[in-house]
Structure 1
Amino acid sequence: MSSPAPPKSPELSDKSKKYDRQIRLWGEHGQTLLEAATICLVNVTAVGCEVAKGLVLPGIGGFTIADGSTVKEEDLGNNFFLDSSYLGQSKALACKQLLQELNPDVDGDYVDESVDYILANRPNFFDSFNLVIASNLNEQSLLLLANRLWESNVPFVYCRSLGMLGTIRLQLKEHCVVEAHPDNRQYDLRLEQPFEALRDHLEATEVTNKVPWLLVLYKYLKVWQKQQGDGRQAPTNYKEKTKLREAIREEMKSDEENYEEAIKAVNTAFGAGVVPSSLKAIFEDDACEQLHKKSDVFWIMAKALKHFVVEENKGLLPLAGVLPDMTANTDSYIALQHIYRQQALQDADQVYHKCQDYLKQLSLPADSIDERTVRLLCREASGLAILRGTRIADEYEKSCRLLPLVEDNELQGTLTAYNFALRAYERFLSECGSIPGECAVEQDIGRLKSIASKMLNDLGLHVNLSDDVLHEICRYGGAELHAVSAFIGGCAAQEVIKIITKQYKPIDNTFIYNAISTESVTLKL
């Protein structure tokens, strides 16, 4: 008799398989946040479609396109989503259908209305989205939309793509990064100040060539501490670390891998667990000190974390509970891993209970913060970051932020000059109602130069854009090049995912790219 067929894999497994590579980057919890998010795309330009494509493929929850225009001949040359069969049709509907084909898991919607019409008649339309993306607007529409989103505290990503130039501007009122994913993460091992369970295990375990290097290092650290006789817990300079390494090497009997690993680890095994300056600034922030009913849950958790560090853990962070790989027999490594994980859970549990106390004091629901979220925050405590952004409208007023961009009466570098030239281009669209360079290049260069000069003078920047830069802007005649739009769109989609998942630090706040020279720069404006 044949054996019964194995049960079908649950739907979650199929989804995990589909998104496997990206889940390795931002985890199941990051994927869950992405799938719960809805975004609005204003204007389906080539760069706008590329941003949306970069979000639909990894499984954004839903998207809505807002564009009141129809498909024209020029759209066919720069937007690979469209062909001649769509001429004269709603651009929003066409791109919505084509984007949805990329991933049936994603909900798509559209409105055949311009951003100006929506802001004038339904200004609350944008409030329900997790994030809004827009591209290639004129100055008036850009500022109206940006100001509305700032008031509603909705993150905004604005992209420009014109000829060989592209920019991205993020407008974030306040953004909390929980998982920064640092390139060189330092493991918190607490060898110099072992917690009780770890100390008992280290003292009771015999050091052989089969145990993890951590036990080897602890054994010789204890010897080093006795030799110093001054109460110091760990070596801090090159000379002291060299002495500890030599002590371990002298005791090696043969090619013992765990001893070799212990010698290598001397440089990185000590000093973790202390509060870094970035976290100290979060602890001292008014938002952390003065909680209220409308406080973001991040700040409630931050205050609970501060209480744990200062009042309950002698100034040390909660244990992350993560160990590096080590050469050792399986049982020995698992036993050590279990001790770290248990202590991490215990520390996170104390922080969680303090969170519940604060929620109760604020008369907020207990389920506003769950244990899993607190454990994640505790594990990543050393890398927590807060970004507080500026309004896009601030760039159009006199600002000291812009002064460093000017040196000896010249804009620093062509990239900065191109950024101002693109803004002058947007003002040209608002004031003249036409695209510079579309019909009369030479005449428009003069008009654009006049607009740019007035714009820079109004900002208090007594400089002028070179004729070459302005000629380059006019030469494009408003055209997008798909290769440039694809690059900018991909970069912008990456920033959107960072914001939604609260992982990795987004740019702060302007990215400029010149495809002619393949140069880029990030500025804080």
Structure 2
Amino acid sequence: MTIDKDAKYDRQLRLWASTGQSNLESSHICLINASSTGCEILKNLILPGIGSFTIIDDKKVSNLDLSSNFFIKNNEINRNLATVTTKNLNELNTEVKGFAIEKSIQDLLIEENDEIFWQQFSVVIISDYTPKLNQLIDILWSKQIPLMIVNTVGFYSSFNLLTSETTVIETHDPSKLYDLRIDLPWEELQQFADSFDLDNLDDQEHAHVPCIIIFIKALQSWIKTHEGQPPWVSYTEKKNFKKYVELLSRNIVLENNFAEAVSSSHRAFQITDLPDSVKQLLKISKENPVTKNSSIFWIYIAALSKFLQLNNDVLPLPGTIPDLASDTKNYIDLQNIYKEKAKKDQKLFTEQVESVLESIGRSKDEINNDSIASFCKNSRLLFVTIGSKKFISSHFIEQFNHEKDQSKIKKYLIYFGILTFNIFINEHNRLPELSDLKEFIQLYNEKIDSTTLAGSDVKVFEELLSHNTRNYTNLNSLMGGVVSQEVLKLCTGQYVPIDNLFVFDGIESSSEKFKIEY
């Protein structure tokens, strides 16, 4: 990345660093339907620097488009919508390449029936109703290309993420827990801890012992004097351990390191073990051995299984430590011990990755040291979810019928209403109106849920049909921000994306997330 790009993208680089930016700049986003919402989504992706985008739309610019879409100019009426919006969006960032396809999705699916066309895209976004949707879903699902479907109707909106699987290594967990191995120090860390004789240090040296060392020594001493029991067995014992650490200080008022140890005693209670989420991934990997076509994520999981067998079931050490009250020498020495251990673990893990790649007939040239370093650093915080290509499921309907929270019930109805809205368009080739309410409810009962709606439930559908427009710019802008944020997560490969349905109520300014099972 050049210095100019570093300055241009300074703020976002703080969020996802150069690796995330590199992933973003290699992405190619497809938008089907150049609606106001769709263009707002692309705006928020072009500005941070996606690699390229393609807009597919065969329609001509109308007065309605002009009134709701900020990326259409007055003199562009009757010109192709995809071409016009592509040109105007491109002005936001000249480093991003934009392409327009002046075809309907029906024609494109016929012409591109070999399906190779779709492989060029990182993410496909559909804005509002699109015919032949199920055919497109099947194509993208089989190729593991994420599909985002966003619908806005009046003051209501929803979007679905349809992808068979989502894996994230850099989840950026907000808890900020450090893996310090206080309960399980390796040889070099134990030797460093043993080099501090707390009883024989002078007052200045005593006041600069890092709290990690204080914890290691205090914990080991505690276990010896408590019949092998650690202090985290009960709340009372945790409090007693905290007092024990305080008693090790010569003057808690003057010794900042001991005051820090007392205030952060929770670090001493972190147990070095395998999280349940990692155990589940290892189980999945064992039941579904990697093949030549496996993603690098599952190759890493297979390598992790081998690594754990060689490392006493202990994950790779991230190698970072928090700021500590200490003198410079002690802190740097301690920091280097953690860094060196992390490097050793990373080397051992890399060897296991090489072994897995070789076993499935893939080249060692695929190894990316930055990617491996990231995996080792984040191996405790991995995210995996199995998606769904369904818009509803029997389990989802059952959840709705048993829901008691009125706010959630309304979100379900908004989503069902939007689905019915699109079903009506598909059957009648026009937008439903309030006068169609009876048929609208009948469609809902036939296609979604046969349960009789209560009077308050019907009001949601009435509201939907009273504002049967896709062109409320405030809602379009908001959903443009929401959806683009999720696309950025997928493209950078960082942060945890929505899983897998989001519904927004613009009347009450509230939202809800749902999970539709496969």
Q: Give the C-alpha shift of residue 43 in structure 1.
A: 0.6
Give the residue type in structure 2 aligned to 1:269.
A
Indicate the SS of the match to 1:284: helix
- What is the rounded CA distance, in whole Å, between the counterparts of 2:177 and 2:186 in structure 1? 18
1:10-59, Cα deviation, whole Å (9 max, x unpaired): x6222111111111111111111111111101111111011111111111
The aligned runs of 1:150-161 (5 Å cut-off) are 150-161=141-152
- What is the rounded CA distance, in whole Å, between the counterparts of 2:222 and 2:94 in structure 1? 62
- State the partner residue of 1:510: 501
- What is the rounded CA distance, in whole Å, between the counterparts of 1:233 and 1:314 in structure 2? 20
Give the residue type in structure 2 aligned to 1:219.
K
Choose which of 510, 513, 518 in structure 2 pairs with 1:519.
510
Asked if 2 retains the 8 angstrom alpha-carbon contact of 1:41 and 1:132, the reply is: yes
- State the partner residue of 2:304: 305
- What is the rounded CA distance, in whole Å, between the counterparts of 1:490 and 1:339 in structure 2? 43
The aligned runs of 1:52-63 (5 Å cut-off) are 52-63=42-53
* CA 231–307 in structure 1, closer or farther in 2 if over 3 Å, else same: farther
- What is the rounded CA distance, in whole Å, between the counterparts of 2:340 and 2:438 in structure 1? 70
Instruction: Say whether residues 1:425 and 2:425 are aligned partners.
Output: no
Indicate the SS of the match to 2:268: coil
* CA 498–273 in structure 1, closer or farther in 2 if over 3 Å, else same: farther
Q: Give the C-alpha shift of residue 356 in structure 1.
A: 0.4
Give the residue type in structure 1 aligned to 2:25.
E
- State the partner residue of 1:218: 216
Indicate the SS of the match to 1:60: coil
Indicate the SS of the match to 1:40: strand
- State the partner residue of 1:462: 451
The aligned runs of 1:224-263 (5 Å cut-off) are 224-228=222-226, 230-233=227-230, 235-250=232-247, 251-253=249-251, 254-263=253-262
- What is the rounded CA distance, in whole Å, between the counterparts of 1:65 and 1:235 in structure 2? 57
- State the partner residue of 1:6: none
Asked if 1 retains the 8 angstrom alpha-carbon contact of 2:54 and 2:98, the reply is: yes
Residue correspondences, number: 502
Give the residue type in structure 2 aligned to 1:34.
L
Choose which of 11, 14, 22 in structure 2 pairs with 1:21.
11
- State the partner residue of 2:123: 131
- State the partner residue of 2:90: 100
The aligned runs of 1:86-97 (5 Å cut-off) are 86-97=76-87
Asked if 2 retains the 8 angstrom alpha-carbon contact of 1:211 and 1:258, the reply is: yes
1:91-136, Cα deviation, whole Å (9 max, x unpaired): 1111111111111111111101121211122142222211101110
* CA 287–175 in structure 1, closer or farther in 2 if over 3 Å, else same: farther
Indicate the SS of the match to 2:132: helix
The aligned runs of 1:327-342 (5 Å cut-off) are 327-342=325-340
Q: Give the C-alpha shift of residue 217 in structure 1.
A: 2.2
* CA 263–83 in structure 1, closer or farther in 2 if over 3 Å, else same: same
CA RMSD of aligned residues (A): 2.0
- State the partner residue of 2:269: 270
- What is the rounded CA distance, in whole Å, between the counterparts of 2:250 and 2:32 in structure 1? 66
- What is the rounded CA distance, in whole Å, between the counterparts of 2:103 and 2:271 in structure 1? 54
- State the partner residue of 2:432: 436
Q: Give the C-alpha shift of residue 144 in structure 1.
A: 2.5
- State the partner residue of 1:5: none
- State the partner residue of 2:75: 85
Asked if 2 retains the 8 angstrom alpha-carbon contact of 1:349 and 1:371, the reply is: no
Choose which of 14, 21, 41 in structure 1 pairs with 2:31.
41
- State the partner residue of 2:382: 384
Q: Give the C-alpha shift of residue 324 in structure 1.
A: 1.0
- State the partner residue of 2:281: 282
- What is the rounded CA distance, in whole Å, between the counterparts of 1:337 and 1:408 in structure 2? 51
- State the partner residue of 1:415: 411
Give the residue type in structure 1 aligned to 2:193.
L
Q: Give the C-alpha shift of residue 232 in structure 1.
A: 3.6
1:337-371, Cα deviation, whole Å (9 max, x unpaired): 11101101101110110110111121101122222
Q: Give the C-alpha shift of residue 308 in structure 1.
A: 1.3
- State the partner residue of 1:445: 437
Q: Give the C-alpha shift of residue 409 in structure 1.
A: 11
Q: Give the C-alpha shift of residue 407 in structure 1.
A: 3.0
Larger mean CA deviation between 241-250 and 514-523 belongs to 241-250
- State the partner residue of 2:203: none
Gaps of 5+ in 2: 199-205
- State the partner residue of 1:7: none
Instruction: Say whether residues 1:347 and 2:345 are aligned partners.
Output: yes
1:213-245, Cα deviation, whole Å (9 max, x unpaired): 2122223223212211x3345533222222222
Indicate the SS of the match to 1:159: strand
1:479-504, Cα deviation, whole Å (9 max, x unpaired): 32111111111111111111122221
Q: Give the C-alpha shift of residue 447 in structure 1.
A: 2.8
Indicate the SS of the match to 1:317: coil
Q: Give the C-alpha shift of residue 289 in structure 1.
A: 4.8
* CA 363–56 in structure 1, closer or farther in 2 if over 3 Å, else same: same
Larger mean CA deviation between 342-351 and 203-212 belongs to 203-212
Indicate the SS of the match to 1:400: helix
* CA 408–171 in structure 1, closer or farther in 2 if over 3 Å, else same: closer
Asked if 2 retains the 8 angstrom alpha-carbon contact of 1:189 and 1:270, the reply is: no
Q: Give the C-alpha shift of residue 313 in structure 1.
A: 1.6
Asked if 1 retains the 8 angstrom alpha-carbon contact of 2:52 and 2:97, the reply is: yes
- What is the rounded CA distance, in whole Å, between the counterparts of 1:343 and 1:326 in structure 2? 19
- What is the rounded CA distance, in whole Å, between the counterparts of 1:223 and 1:424 in structure 2? 67
- What is the rounded CA distance, in whole Å, between the counterparts of 1:137 and 1:306 in structure 2? 45
- What is the rounded CA distance, in whole Å, between the counterparts of 2:286 and 2:95 in structure 1? 38
Asked if 2 retains the 8 angstrom alpha-carbon contact of 1:209 and 1:256, the reply is: yes
Indicate the SS of the match to 1:179: coil
- What is the rounded CA distance, in whole Å, between the counterparts of 1:314 and 1:238 in structure 2? 29
Give the residue type in structure 2 aligned to 1:446.
K
Indicate the SS of the match to 2:180: coil
Q: Give the C-alpha shift of residue 454 in structure 1.
A: 1.7
Instruction: Say whether residues 1:164 and 2:155 are aligned partners.
Output: yes
1:407-453, Cα deviation, whole Å (9 max, x unpaired): 3899961111111111111011111111112xxx42x2233222222
- State the partner residue of 1:472: 463
- What is the rounded CA distance, in whole Å, between the counterparts of 1:509 and 1:289 in structure 2? 24
Asked if 2 retains the 8 angstrom alpha-carbon contact of 1:252 and 1:259, the reply is: no
Asked if 2 retains the 8 angstrom alpha-carbon contact of 1:410 and 1:464, the reply is: no
Indicate the SS of the match to 1:269: helix
- What is the rounded CA distance, in whole Å, between the counterparts of 1:206 and 1:71 in structure 2? 79
- State the partner residue of 2:365: 367
- What is the rounded CA distance, in whole Å, between the counterparts of 2:494 and 2:23 in structure 1? 11
- What is the rounded CA distance, in whole Å, between the counterparts of 1:513 and 1:70 in structure 2? 29
- What is the rounded CA distance, in whole Å, between the counterparts of 2:296 and 2:127 in structure 1? 32
- What is the rounded CA distance, in whole Å, between the counterparts of 2:281 and 2:54 in structure 1? 35
Indicate the SS of the match to 2:106: helix
Larger mean CA deviation between 499-508 and 419-428 belongs to 499-508
- Spell out structure 1 runs of 4+ moving beyond 4 A: 286-289, 408-412
1:382-409, Cα deviation, whole Å (9 max, x unpaired): 11121110113x63xx623321111389
